[in-house]
Amino acid sequence: MAAVVWLVLGVVLVAAEVLSGSFVLLMLGAAALAAAVGALVSLPLSAVVFALGALGLITFARPPLLRRLHAVEPMKSNIEALVGGRAVVVSTVDVHGGQVRIAGDLWSARAFDETQVLEPGSSVMVMTISGATAVVWSDR
Mean pLDDT of 5-12: 95
Instruction: Say if domain 79-137 classifies as CATH 3.40.50.1000.
Output: no
Residue 128: strand pairing partners: 135
pLDDT tens digit sequence for 31-78 = 999 999 999 999 999 999 999 999 999 999 999 999 988 887 777 778
108's CB contacts (< 8 A; 6+ apart) are: 97, 98, 99, 132, 133, 134
Q: Is 53 left (phi over 0), alpha (psi -120 to 50) or beta?
A: alpha
Helix (H, G, I), strand (E, B) or coil at 36: helix
pLDDT band at 102 (very low <50, low <70, confident <90, very high): very high
Answer yes or no: is pLDDT of 135 > 80: yes
* Cβ–Cβ under 8 Å, residues 62 and 23: yes
Mean pLDDT of 86-109: 96
CA angle (101 as vertex; 95, 103 as ends), nearest 5? 135
The percentage of the chain sitting over the pLDDT mark of 70, rounded to a whole number, equals: 100
C-alpha to C-alpha distance for 25 and 33, rounded to whole angstroms: 12
Give the pLDDT confidence score for residue 95 in this predicted structure.
Answer: 94
The residues spanned by each domain of the chain are: 2-70, 79-137
